[in-house]
Amino acid sequence: MIVFASGNVTDALALLKFRESISIDPYGILLSWNTSTHFCNWHGITCHLIHQRVTELNLQGYKLKGSISPHIGNLSYMRIFNLNHNNFYGNIPQELGRLSQLHRLYLGGNQISGEIPASLGNLIGLTLLTMELNRIDGIIPTTFGKFQKMQLLNLRANKLSGAIGAFIGNLSQLFHLHLGANMLTGNIPPNIGNCQKLQFFVLSRNNLTGTIPLEVFNLSSLTNLLDLSQNSLSGNIPEKVSNLKNIGFLDVSENHLSGHIPGTIGECIMLEYLYMRGNLLQGIIPSSFASLKGLRHLDLSRNRLSGSIPNFLQNISFLEYFNVSFNMLDAFLFILSIILTIYWMRKRSKKPYLVSPIIDQLAKVSYQRLYNGTNGFSTTSLIGSGNFSSVYKGTLELVDEVVAIKVLNLQKKGAHKSFIVECNALQNIKHRNLVQILTCCSSIYYKGQEFKALIFEYMENGSLEQWLYPKTLSTEHPRTLNLDQRLNIMIDVASALHYLHHECDQPIIHCDLKPSNVLLDDDMIAHVSDFGITRLLSTINGTTSNQTSTIGIKGTVGYTAPVLKTFSLSFRDMYSFGIFVLEMLTGRRPTDEIFENGQNLHNFAKNSFPDNLVQILDPSLVPKQRQETVVEENNQNVTPTIEKCLVSLFKIGLDCSVESPKERMNMVDVTKELSKIRRVFLGSKIN
């Protein structure tokens, strides 16, 4: 039985009460939630390093079923609460309003019902709130007007009704607002114009009426998306639409908009997707559309447009979808419009890698913002480079967030496909040990060339490689990792691979695990990155089998399993993980010059296993006063507990990297073994 300090008892009891309210735990995630282990070591829990109070509760995507216990309101130090993508039902407890330290609240993708409690307005430090894809009804509380630090608010796909209150104008820091697919009524409040940092704005699929306020078109910050489709909005589209010069996606379809299409839309030169179908628009297609060089989709169907189809449209090289059917065209033009629509749709179907639906779901950032945030992609901002890309450290204006910007070198063969693969892999996966994609950029820049970039959260402590080899890589301060830290990093990486292999709807194989692709955040938590050659098991070679050929699947020399004709690709990652573990323990790269004439890192470790491991241990793990004698000593140079820990870790590394795929460990067993090792190791330190 663990004995807690008084404040810690409060957190422990609150968590145990929360566990009691969960009736189904299909993955056994909460088995670690018991009094024999300190709650800071429970799955999904992060604690403050000093006072050991819960700062994060993250149970995203584990298909847990139950209600949200009101006792959660006793976790007074919690900053992040994430229950996204589970099966929680019932009401949102009003006690959540007591979490005064909360910064991020994720409740999306559940079966939550009832009204949003007004008490949530007390969370004045909240910067992110997601409740999408639930059954929440009632109105949006006016107390939300207190969210003056709110940056992202997502309430889409619920049953919310009533008007959008004037409180929305108080959210001056907002850059992402999604209220689509509800039953909201009334007008769009004009004071939305106070949200001068808004980049992503969706009100589609509601029952909104009235005209579109001019203030919406004064939001020059709108660089990603404006979607007002499927409402009952009326009036004209104002000339001021030209203020949205950096907008990439504009959809006003399925409304009652009338008048002419303003020619000033041609000044929105970053437009890629323009949808105006199903309105009462009349007149001709403006000639200014010729300026929209990056346009990919244009849908003006089911209006009252007249005149001819402009010839300049054939000069827009990126146009993949074009539809002007069912307008007030003469018979010849009507037939021609149908033919052109079919032609462009077929043209699109022949370009499978030009645009991915997954990429379209990502909120996009403009080229100009990335250019400004990296001082023109200067060499001083460059922090790394690879086969297909260069990575820059930058700041996104408006939100003042430091990010890592991965710019694809599209001149290299395979770079475009790498971009698609990484977007597909990262869009729908979320795990604390996977690098988080924030947004992307897919546009045309001033030279008329295509530009693609992925934007990730920035990891202050760089890559694991920089910590393992501080002498060979330039660093301002010497970096070393003790055994505790290395063990935690191994567990973090194993947890990420376990999630990718066994917990995703579509299993994902990383294919290039190595220290340079493991990034460390401020708290030295590891995040697996670089999914450019990732494979989705159900889509490899058009098969649904886990068995596939390894021919043509590239990786990094030394970390890639010996090529066999066929085997389960998950064992490829297991081999890489085994080499990864051995490298962390020995401090030797698998490409070290000592590995010649058939020798490799696996055999190097195997020859010293289990009695002489200290001789091959990374010197930084051996106390300086003992380094001169370890060559002549065996494992007796370390304590029995440390020896047991080392033997167990080396065994995992060796068992994962054996030549025969069938004999390798799987990630389920690896994560269990690593957790046991940590419990023994930490237990010995406490005692």
d(CA 285, CA 308): 8
Q: How many residues does the chain have?
A: 687
Q: Which of 267, 230, 270 is CA-nearest to residue 252?
A: 230
Q: Residue 592: phi, psi to the nearest 5?
A: -55, 145
d(CA 204, CA 680): 54
Is residue 512 annotated as part of the catalytic site, yes or no? yes
Cα 664 from chain centroid (whole Å): 30
Q: What is the DSSP string of 463-519?
A: BHHHHH-TTTS--SS-----HHHHHHHHHHHHHHHHIIIIISSS-EE-S---GGGEE
Q: How far is CA 601 from CA 44, 412, 571, 609, in A?
A: 34, 32, 18, 12
Out of 512, 522, 573, 618, pick the active-site residue: 512
Check if the beta carbon of residue 353 is closer than 8 Å to that of residue 417: yes
DSSP state for residue 133 in the 8-state scheme: S
Check if the beta carbon of residue 601 is closer than 8 Å to that of residue 592: yes
Cα 435 from chain centroid (whole Å): 7
Amino acid at 371: Y
Question: In what order do the strands lie in the sheet containing 401-408?
Answer: 382-385, 389-396, 401-408, 450-457, 437-444
d(CA 535, CA 527): 18
635: Cβ–Cβ under 8 A, 6 or more apart, which residues? 610, 611, 612, 613, 614, 643, 646, 647
d(CA 496, CA 526): 9
d(CA 478, CA 393): 22
Q: Is 351 annotated as a binding residue?
A: no
483: Cβ–Cβ under 8 A, 6 or more apart, which residues? 621, 642, 645, 681
d(CA 611, CA 503): 37
Check if the beta carbon of residue 15 is closer than 8 Å to that of residue 39: yes
3-state SS class at 528: strand
DSSP E strand stretches across 117-238: 128-130, 135-138, 152-154, 159-163, 176-178, 183-186, 200-202, 207-211, 225-227, 232-236
Q: Which helix (H) or strand (E) holds 392?
A: strand 389-396
Catalytic site residues?
Answer: 512
Residue set of the binding site: 406
Residue set of the binding site for ATP: 406
